[in-house]
Amino acid sequence: MKITEALIAEHGVFHGLFDYIERTAPNLKTLAEIKTVAGLLDATLDPHSRVEEELFIAPLDHCMDQLGQTQSFHGEHEEIEATLDAIQQSKSAKAARKLLLETVRACRRHFDKEERHVFPMGERLLKARTLNTLGAEWQKRREDTGW
């Protein structure tokens, strides 16, 4: 399996999670409930972003620099992470719920950019053999972590 196919398959799981959070966020009344959902999103998103940076963006870094996208790519991962951290520091359910929904919207925009532009660009710039080798490494990591 190519690394791009593996990452798109992981995105599929997140699209379901984003739908669920958007649907249920209005029913989350307490700050603790909102922090738990944000913590779940953080715990699942973090391994995805990490594997994406290490097994897909790093091999593409020299090309991304040419296209000026590296900064925005790393920046978006960091921004999403920072918003999720801010939810854990939040003192009000209303503010935390608003941040949670903003994070989901930011994730959707980020995922959409990856699916439309970043992954196809990777498929053009990397050789099929490299994409498959990186995909095998992804599989190994997921087996090792039981994810």
Nearer to Fe ion, 37 or 55 (CB): 55
Nearer to Fe ion, 32 or 82 (CB): 82
Total binding residues toward Fe ion, as defined by CB under 5 A: 2
Q: How far is the CB of 86 from Fe ion (least distance, A)?
A: 19
Instruction: Give dist(CA 97, CA 108) in Å, integer.
Output: 17
Q: In 10 A of CB 68, how many CB atoms?
A: 8
Q: How far is the CB of 31 from Fe ion (least distance, A)?
A: 28
Nearer to Fe ion, 42 or 52 (CB): 52
- Interface positions, 49-108, toward Fe ion (CB under 5 A): 52
Q: How far is the CB of 100 from Fe ion (least distance, A)?
A: 18
Nearer to Fe ion, 42 or 114 (CB): 114
Q: How far is the CB of 85 from Fe ion (least distance, A)?
A: 17
Q: How far is the CB of 43 from Fe ion (least distance, A)?
A: 16
Nearer to Fe ion, 33 or 123 (CB): 123
Which of these ranges, 24-32, 38-46, 48-56, 95-103, lies near Fe ion under the rule CB under 5 A?
A: 48-56
Burial zone of 116 (CB within 10 Å; 0-12 exposed, 13-18 middle, 19+ buried): exposed
Length of the chain: 147
Instruction: State how far the alpha carbon of 139 is from the alpha carbons of 15, 55, 108, 132, 146, in Å.
Output: 21, 11, 24, 10, 10
Tell me the two tokens of residue 107.
């994730």
CB 41 within 8 A of CB 21: yes
Instruction: Give dist(CA 147, CA 68) in Å, integer.
Output: 32
Q: Which residues bind Fe ion (CB under 5 A)?
A: 52, 114
